[in-house]
Amino acid sequence: MATYKDSGVDIEAGDLAVERMSHYVKSTHSPKVLSNSHGGFAGMFLLDYPKGILRREYKNPVLMACTDGVGTKLEVAIRLGISDTVGIDLVGMCVNDLIVQGAEPLFFLDYIAVGKLDPEQVAGIVKGIAKGCRECECSILGGETAEMPGFYPPGHYDIAGFSVGVAERSRIIDGRSVQPKDVIIGVASSGLHSNGYSLARKVFLKGRKPKLDKFDDRLGCTLGEELLRPTRLYAKPVLNILRRYRHKRPIRAMAHITGGGLVGNVPRVLPKGLDAVIRKGAWEIPPIFELLKKQGKVPEAEMYKVFNMGIGLAVVVSPHFANSIIHQFNQMGFPSWRIGEVVKGTNGKSKVKMKK
């Protein structure tokens, strides 16, 4: 007699995982979430809500949605047996994409796929997701945990996230108002975030036994701790700054610096005919990038094409507001620098010029 458990799927373990993660999920809920104490197949979120539930009342609301994953950073987490930090990464990779267009995050959903379900491991992932969502003030509305025996090696998993936000249509930030002489502000990353790990893994993890648990004086921590440092979440400071300008529009564009680095992401928010000049040395580059460059013999140009190089968010602002906005980011604990400016280009595709 064959059973589902014989094939590798443990329904009881799944129920235990749901039980252990439920309090993390509920910790992100607010009055905007319509609870269903009897369970359900879909999460429910109030859009026709009583006054005061959202920070502002929207006259012409536009919903925005993003989806992403954590990528091969998961290999480091799996090797070290640490699962909660990548949950924060998952939120960051999605919500940071929302806020650069001026959206207030509303809710988040996750998808977790495993070979064999380990309730503690899955609960750890959701614990991290919940921590990230609380920091971004958005609710976990639901998720899916899929057990697929034989599809993933023992202990391995993959995760994906989905976030939805809202913005006033007239306040959407899309880069159309960017002008020459606008200032580019760089907001510090926490390190690698969740991009470039295929190259980072090749440098640090391939061909020899990696010393992930050995303290490194250059990093001020172990290599494993540095590689698992969670993505910095920019929702709170960005939204706080946007809310301070009720009528003026000092922020013209924002770019979440992910795969492709400054070189690949800043041009995405510039209108045709405008380029960006980024000055190397205008900000502090975390030691992990120099270690990667040196140990992997990675050309500098390649480093700037692959990694964020210490800048997780680029903000294009009117020059009259640049100093004030830098000060506001710094006051909220997000180190920021004037790293470049917008210049006239050609009628071709916008690009970034890196200068010393």
Taking the C-alpha atoms of residue 191 and residue 288, their distance in angstroms, rounded to an integer, is 7
- Within-domain flag for 42: no
Q: Which two tokens stand for residue 344?
A: 């006239």
Write out pLDDT tens, residues 107-133: 999 999 999 889 899 999 999 999 999
Q: Please check whether residues 211 and 306 belong to one and the same domain.
A: yes
β-pairing, 157-168 vs 274-279, is: unpaired
Average pLDDT in the 178-182 region?
Answer: 96
CATH code, domain with 150: 3.30.1330.10
Q: Where is pLDDT greater, at 158 or 26?
A: 158
Taking the C-alpha atoms of residue 302 and residue 292, their distance in angstroms, rounded to an integer, is 11
What domain range is 335 assigned to? 183-355
pLDDT value of residue 12: 60
- Within-domain flag for 230: yes
* CA-to-CA separations, 192 to 13, 42, 188, 236, in angstroms, rounded: 34, 34, 11, 20
Picking from 316, 320, 298, 322, the residue whose alpha carbon sits closest to that of residue 352 is: 316
- In percent, how much of the chain has pLDDT > 70? 84
pLDDT value of residue 56: 60
Predicted confidence (pLDDT) at residue 190 exceeds the cutoff of 70: yes
pLDDT value of residue 60: 85
The three-state (H, E, C) secondary structure of 90-154, written as one string: HHHHHHHHHHCCCCEEEEEEEEEEECCCCHHHHHHHHHHHHHHHHHHCCEEEEEEEEECCCCCCC
pLDDT value of residue 17: 54
pLDDT value of residue 8: 54
pTM for the predicted model, two decimal places: 0.88
Write out pLDDT tens, residues 247-284: 889 999 999 999 999 999 999 999 999 999 999 999 99
Q: Which domain-ending residue is among 171, 201, 234?
A: 171
Average pLDDT in the 156-179 region?
Answer: 94
pLDDT value of residue 4: 45
pLDDT value of residue 238: 97
Mean pLDDT of the chain: 88
- In percent, how much of the chain has pLDDT > 90? 70
Q: Please check whether residues 197 and 106 belong to one and the same domain.
A: no
Taking the C-alpha atoms of residue 347 and residue 79, their distance in angstroms, rounded to an integer, is 48
Average pLDDT in the 42-47 region?
Answer: 70
Q: How many domains does the chain have?
A: 2
Contact status, residue 125 vs residue 163, Cβ threshold 8 Å: no
Taking the C-alpha atoms of residue 50 and residue 313, their distance in angstroms, rounded to an integer, is 34
- Within-domain flag for 147: yes
The string of DSSP codes covering 183-221 is EEEEEEPSSSTTSSHHHHHHHHTSSS---TTSEETTTTE
pLDDT value of residue 7: 45
pLDDT value of residue 206: 82
Taking the C-alpha atoms of residue 221 and residue 192, their distance in angstroms, rounded to an integer, is 15
Average pLDDT in the 144-157 region?
Answer: 91
Strand partners, 33: 45
Q: Please check whether residues 167 and 214 belong to one and the same domain.
A: no
Predicted confidence (pLDDT) at residue 21 exceeds the cutoff of 70: no
Q: Which residues contact 91 (CB under 8 A, 6 or more apart)?
A: 108, 128, 129, 132, 133, 135, 136, 161, 163, 231, 233
| Other C-beta atoms lying within 10 Å of the C-beta of residue 305 | 17
